[in-house]
A and B are shown apart, each in its own frame.
Chain A
Amino acid sequence: SAVISQKPSRDICQRGTSLTIQCQVDSQVTMMFWYRQQPGQSLTLIATANQGSEATYESGFVIDKFPISRPNLTFSTLTVSNMSPEDSSIYLCSVEGHPSGANVLTFGAGSRLTVL
Chain B
Amino acid sequence: AQTVTQSQPEMSVQEAETVTLSCTYDTSESDYYLFWYKQPPSRQMILVIRQEAYKQQNATENRFSVNFQKAAKSFSLKISDSQLGDAAMYFCAYRSTGANSKLTFGKGITLSVRP
Whether a CB of chain B sits under 8 angstroms from the CB of A103 is: yes
Contact with B along A43-66 (1 / 0, CB 8 A): 111001000000010100000000
A103 with B45: CB separation less than 8 A: no
Across the two chains, which residue of chain A brings its CB closest to B107? A42
Place the interface of chain A in its size category.
Answer: 20 to 34
The chain B residue with its CB closest to the CB of A92 is B45
Q: Is the interface of A mostly helix, strand, loop or mixed?
A: strand
Stretch at the interface among B16-24, B62-70, B71-79, B95-103: B95-103
Verify A103–B91 contact, CB threshold 8 A.
Answer: no
User: For residues 87 through 115 of chain B, which have their beta carbon under 8 Å from a beta carbon of chain A?
Assistant: 91, 95, 97, 100, 102-103, 105-108
Asked if A75 is at the interface of the complex by the 8 Å CB criterion, the answer is: no
Known: A31-B100, A42-B91, A103-B97. A110 touches B44 (CB 8 A): yes
Q: Which residue on chain A has the smallest CB distance to residue B44?
A: A109
Using a Cβ–Cβ cut-off of 8 Å, how many residues does chain B contribute to the interface with A?
Answer: 19
Determine the distance from Cα of A74 to Cα of B43 in the docked complex, in whole angstroms: 22
Interface status of A115 (Cβ within 8 A of chain B): no
B42 is an interface residue with CB less than 8 A from chain A: yes
Q: Which residues of A are found within 8 Å of B103, using beta-carbon distances?
A: 33, 45, 94, 105
Cross-interface CB contact of A100 among B47, B106, B108, cutoff 8 Å? B47
Q: Is A104 an interface residue (CB 8 A)?
A: yes
**Smallest beta-carbon distance B56→chain A, Å:** 18
Q: Are A42 and B44 in contact (CB under 8 A)?
A: no
A1 at the binding interface (Cβ < 8 Å):
no
Which residues of chain A are within 8 angstroms of B100 by Cβ–Cβ distance? 31, 48, 56
A58 touches B102 (CB 8 A): yes
A70 interface hit (Cβ, 8 Å):
no
Residues of B within 8 A of A112 (CB): 43
Q: A41 with B102: in contact, given A90-B43, A103-B97, A109-B42 (CB under 8 Å)?
A: no
Residues of A within 8 A of B50 (CB): 103-104
Complex CA distance for A94 and B105, rounded to whole angstroms: 14
Q: Bound state CA distance, A64 and B47, in angstroms?
A: 32
CA distance in complex: A37, B105 (Å): 11
A106 at the interface (CB under 8 A from B): yes
